[in-house]
Every structure is written in C-alpha cells, then in structure tokens.
Amino acid sequence: MPTRKYKPTSPGRRHMIGADYSEITKGKPEKSLTSAKPKTGGRNHFGRITSFNRGGGNKRRYRIIDFKRDKDGFPAKVAAIEYDPNRTCRIALLHYMDGEKRYILAPRNLEVGTMIQSGEGADILPGNALPLKFVPLGTLVHNIELQPNRGGQMVRSAGAAAQVMAKEGNYVTLRLPSGEMRMVHNTCRATVGEVGNAEHENEALGKAGKARGLGRKPHVRGVVKSPRDHPHGGGEAKSPVGRKKGPVDRWGNKSRGEKTRHNKRTDKFIVRRRDKA
C-alpha cells in the first residue's frame, strides 16, 4: 500500500504523509460485526484518569475481530478489505460457506476472492490459520496465541511478523518483531503471513489537529514542570533529567526505556531478550 504526500497548501499539509487507501474495497463496515465504543477520556470506573493525555477524537465503532480463528472445516471467501479506525492494519471480511461472516486481520497480499481456511489441514498460505506444530520452520506468522484457545495476542500491528525458528518437544521457538526469541506451546494457533499495511510507519500526521482527531491530547514533558509536579522538574533554564537512578514518571516509576518487566512465572519461555533499542 503506497503512501500519499500532500501539496503544501498550508503549513500543516507541508509535512503530512498519509495512506492512499487504494487497497480498501468497501466503505461502510458490516453492521452485524460492529459494536459501540464509548469514550473514556483515559478514566477508569471511578472517574479517575489512569491513561493520561487522552480525550476527544473522532467518533468510531468497534469492529469485532476473530482473533481465535477456530472455525475449522469451513472454507471462507474474502469478500472485502476494509479500513479499521481501531488499529493500524486493514481488516478482511470473510464469508463462510455456511453463511457466517467474520472479520480477520488482513495479511499482506491478501486479495478479494481468495479462499482461506483454518485448522490442521490448512495450506501454508497467507491468511490461513493453524496450530504452530503444523507450521514449517522459517515461515512468517502473525496473530499468535500465548495460550491455547485464548485468541491471538502477539504480532498484530501493521507490517509485523514473527518467524518460526525451531521446534523442540511441545514448544515452538519464535523470533518476534522486537528481536526477542520466545517459546510458545505448539497447540497455540497462528496465522500465516505478515500483517498488511506495512507502510503505516511512513505516515506523518503533519499537524497537531490530526493527533487530536485520533484522541491524543498534548503531552507535557516532565523537565519543564515544577518540582512539586514531576521528579524531573525544577532548575534554572533548560535542565537535563539529572538523576542517578535514571528517568522516572511522575510517580517515581522507571520510564523512557528502563526495564520494568517482573514476571518470573513466564521467564522460562524467553530464550533471548529483545534487542536493545
């Protein structure tokens, strides 16, 4: 999917790079596969802000995606490739032979009219889903389950893909987009191919108003605040963070790339940590 550069008719347009949406084949979503998505403004059920710098944004409906891909034995035809405002990739509308309709994440090079399926006997073709123990070594996969029958949780953003590196016992070793090598049980399902819309990373908002349309409010850096509002605040003129223990957020927790993972229960599944950015 190529991107589109705009003529500099205004300062905001000058650096804007957007999608050209040439792969979209259907405008309005399938009504039966959508649900309401109320706005929270980053607030929890107590009314307290837990996710900061969120609010406003365009109204949108949630598209119900089939992350489990558990409809085995029924071939499906790709009826349309659609835009989804809730994620970076495109989604594909499937029409199953028994009349059911479902949305899936659209992999790269998936075209309207293609027949796809899921289950043990599925071919190794983009869009087909099957347990990892039936996926050959070296294959690129996405929408990967962490636990059997729980639904895909990893590798779901635009252009992402994991590679099957090894099989040993009941576990399959995957190389994730971050560079991490991780073992996943071989009965967990994954979808063949890489997620489409890989050019999403080349898009540029161009102006602050487009960020507001996405529901992102302005973010104020800690170093420009006062000491009572942020640990990085204070000092005369421009000051660096200047902390021996590294940068922190407003509550003193590690931030800006510092490792915060503490899950000993699943440490044994990580063969190699992700690459240092």
Tell me if 253 is assigned to some domain: no
Element (H, E) at 140: strand 140-142
Residue 248 lies in a domain: no
Write out pLDDT tens, residues 158-177.
999 999 999 999 999 999 99
Residues of the chain with pLDDT under 50: 277
Q: pTM for the whole thing?
A: 0.91
Farthest CA pair distance, the chain: 70
Report the distance separating Cα 276 and Cα 7, nearest Å. 38
In a domain, 173, yes or no: yes
115 falls within a domain: yes
Examine residue 146 and state whether it is found in any structural domain, yes or no: yes
The CATH number of residue 166's host domain is 2.40.50.140
In a domain, 225, yes or no: no
Q: Vertex 85, ends 84 and 87: CA angle to 5°?
A: 75
What residue spans of the chain are helical by DSSP H?
11-14, 208-213
Q: What is the pLDDT of residues 199-244, one digit of tens each?
A: 999 999 999 999 999 999 999 999 999 999 999 999 999 999 988 8
Report the half-sphere exposure of 89 (CA within 13 A, side-chain side): 24
Domain assignment of residue 267, yes or no: no
**Residue 15, C-beta contacts closer than 8 angstroms, at least 6 positions apart:** 204, 206
- Domain range for 170 is 3-201
Q: What is the pLDDT of residue 257?
A: 84
In a domain, 226, yes or no: no
Number of compact structural domains in the chain:
1
Q: Which of 97, 93, 114, 107 is nearest to 30 (CA)?
A: 93
Q: What is the pLDDT of residue 205?
A: 95
